[in-house]
Structures are given as structure tokens and as C-alpha cells.
């Protein structure tokens, strides 16, 4: 692992336009469980019963009571970890330009990244299904379920449910970022959900290096990614940042 950390630091220090694609794994060290694998959210809740748009439309109270209220509690408490902070540092140093995240937790922005494409939307805001008025999730009173807007309409999170389209603007911009970067850093994603997991493929096809950070192999490993640094995102990023810092001081 030491060699790969040094290699990644050298690659990043020499790069001019780095993009990152992040997934649930980057927020695990912030106390947010991933979706798949042991202890994952989809082990506890059937996504088709709680995270599909048809399930929400059929019974919003059930989805609010179970999935959304639990997510609200977890996300309200979460703070950026060393991996989020590391990506913010790379932006501060002018190395990283854009984060494409599948996460809806807002932790990249909290860490200081300014160009974050929220591919699957955001959990930080709710929108009224009748009048479109928005309100911050942290300010939503849980006294009535489902919570309602002043106009009486039901509130829904601004993240996308299964069965909904990726916002067109996010998709187009992500494809552009992925095709123009010289390194795509893929952190904490199982890379099984399309079209997000196609972004590193676009980068690779456009001539970029693809670097993965994940404790496990993914479908990108050995096919799309140039190398995988096997480990937890916070731990690995902290070490990479230290090495990049040393190279910058030379
Ligand atoms: N550091 C880095 N990676 C980790 C860590 C960690 N500490 N812990 C787990 N991982 C890795 C796992 O090995 C796995 O590859 O994070 C990945 C998490 O995968 P998923 O749970 O599938 O999360 P993600 O890839 O973001 O899922 C994509 O699926 O259900 C949807 O909309 C949801 O945006 C989500 C999408």
C-alpha cells in the first residue's frame, strides 16, 4: 500500500485537472452506513419497498416513517471525515476541480469543496410536491408524518428515488467533467449503479488515469482503473494528502 500511496501522490501532484467520483463508502467513517454489503441500508430495507418512487407515491407516510426519518437522524449528526477534508485540500491546492458525488449527505460542501455535482440530488432540502416550495431538511418538524408544506402539500427529499431520472443538467455536466479530467479519483463506490459508474469509463476512454480507493475490489478494478488503493477512504486520503504536501514543498 505504501508504494501505491506514493504513486497516487505523485500522479495527483503532477495533474492539472482532477475530478472525483464518490459513493457511500466515503461517508462510512462519518457514521453513515453504505447501501450494499454487510451493515448496508439495503440489507435492512428493501429498496423497492422504501426507495422506489412508486412506493413513495403509494404510501409517503410509510417511507417517511421508516427510511427518511432514519436518514434524517443520521445525516443531521454527520460531519466530514479525513477523506472529505482531503478532497477539499486538493481543491484548495488547485489540483481537484470537481467532485461528482452519488451521496446526498452534503458532506463534501461542508468540508469545503465548491464544485460538487450531486448526481443523485440532495437530502439537505425537501420540496413540496404541490407548490415546489423548498425547505431545509434539518428544519422539518417531524410532528406530522408525512411532513407537509404550509400549502398542505406533502414534502419529499430532493434526492432521486429509484425509478426517477438523473437530472439532465447533472448528467451532461458530469460527462463533460469526466471526459476532460486528467485523473479520475474514484472513492468509496461499489460502481454498480449506472449511469454514475460509467463516468470513470468515460475518463478512461478520454485518456485519463483512473485511481480507486476502496477496501474492496469493484467492477472497475483491473479493467477501468489503473490501480486500486485498498483501504478506508479517510485513512488512505490522509496519507495521500501528507505525501502531496511534501511534494509541493520540494
Ligand atoms: N472507505 C472507502 N470505501 C468504503 C468504506 C470506507 N471506509 N467502507 C465501505 N466502502 C466501499 C464498499 O467496499 C463499497 O464498494 O464503499 C462502497 C459502497 O457501495 P454502495 O453501498 O453500493 O454505495 P454507492 O456505490 O454509493 O451506491 C450507489 O446506489 O442505492 C443507490 O442511490 C444509492 O447513490 C447510491 C448508489
Q: Of 10, 30, 33, nearest to 111 (Cα)?
A: 30
**Can you give the pLDDT at residue 65?**
93
Residue of minimum CA distance from atom 34 in ligand 1: 102
**Can you give the pLDDT at residue 249?**
83
**Can you give the pLDDT at residue 22?**
98
**Can you give the pLDDT at residue 1?**
76
**Can you give the pLDDT at residue 39?**
87
pTM here?
0.96
- Which residues are CB-contacts of 70 (< 8 A; sequence separation ≥ 6)? none
CATH code 3.30.1600.10 region(s) in the chain: 33-77+122-159
Question: Are 247 and 9 within 8 A, CB to CB?
Answer: yes
Cα 144 from Cα 155, distance rounded (Å): 11
Q: How far is the CA of 24 from the centre of ligand 1 (A)?
A: 4
**CATH class name, domain 1-32+80-120+167-250:** alpha beta
Q: How far is the CA of 132 from the centre of ligand 1 (A)?
A: 30
Q: How far is the CA of 36 from the centre of ligand 1 (A)?
A: 7
Active-site positions read 120
What DSSP assignment string belongs to 24-79? GGGGGGGT---SSSTT-HHHHS-HHHHSBHHHHHH-HHHHIIIIIHHHHHHHHH--
Residue of minimum CA distance from atom 15 in ligand 1: 190
Q: What is the pLDDT of residues 178-224, one digit of tens each?
A: 999 999 999 999 999 999 999 999 999 999 999 999 999 999 999 99
C-beta atoms surrounding 125 within 10 Å: 18
Tell me which residues of the chain have a pLDDT lower than 70: none
Q: Of 118, 188, 131, 99, nearest to 158 (Cα)?
A: 118
**Can you give the pLDDT at residue 141?**
87
Residue of minimum CA distance from atom 30 in ligand 1: 35
CATH code 3.40.50.1220 region(s) in the chain: 1-32+80-120+167-250
Tell me which CATH homologous superfamily contains domain 33-77+122-159.
SIR2/SIRT2 'Small Domain' (3.30.1600.10)
Amino acid at each position: 500500500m505504501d508504494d501505491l500511496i506514493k504513486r497516487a501522490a505523485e500522479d495527483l501532484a503532477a495533474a492539472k485537472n482532477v475530478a472525483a467520483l464518490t459513493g457511500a463508502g466515503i461517508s462510512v467513517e462519518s457514521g453513515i452506513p453504505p447501501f450494499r454489503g454487510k451493515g448496508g441500508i439495503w440489507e435492512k430495507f428493501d429498496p423497492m419497498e422504501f426507495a422506489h418512487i412508486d412506493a413513495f407515491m403509494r404510501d409517503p407516510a410509510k417511507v417517511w416513517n421508516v427510511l427518511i426519518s432514519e436518514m434524517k437522524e443520521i445525516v443531521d449528526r454527520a460531519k466530514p471525515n479525513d477523506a472529505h477534508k482531503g478532497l477539499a485540500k486538493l481543491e484548495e491546492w488547485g489540483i481537484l476541480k470537481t467532485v461528482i458525488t452519488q451521496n446526498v449527505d452534503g458532506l463534501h460542501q461542508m468540508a469545503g469543496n465548491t464544485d460538487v455535482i450531486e448526481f443523485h440530488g440532495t437530502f439537505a432540502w425537501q420540496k413540496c410536491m404541490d407548490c415546489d416550495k423548498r425547505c431545509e431538511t434539518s428544519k422539518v418538524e417531524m410532528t406530522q408524518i408525512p411532513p407537509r408544506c404550509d400549502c398542505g402539500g406533502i414534502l419529499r427529499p430532493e434526492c432521486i428515488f429509484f425509478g426517477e431520472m438523473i437530472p439532465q443538467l447533472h448528467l451532461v455536466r458530469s460527462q463533460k467533467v469526466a471526459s476532460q479530467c486528467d485523473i479520475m479519483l474514484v472513492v468509496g463506490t461499489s460502481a454498480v449503479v449506472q449511469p454514475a459508474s460509467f463516468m470513470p469509463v468515460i475518463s478512461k476512454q478520454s485518456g485519463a488515469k483512473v485511481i480507486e480507493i476502496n477496501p474492496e475490489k469493484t467492477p472497475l478494478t483491473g479493467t477501468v482503473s489503473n490501480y486500486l488503493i485498498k483501504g478506508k477512504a479517510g485513512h488512505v486520503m490522509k496519507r495521500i494528502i501528507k505525501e502531496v504536501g511534501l511534494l509541493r514543498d520540494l
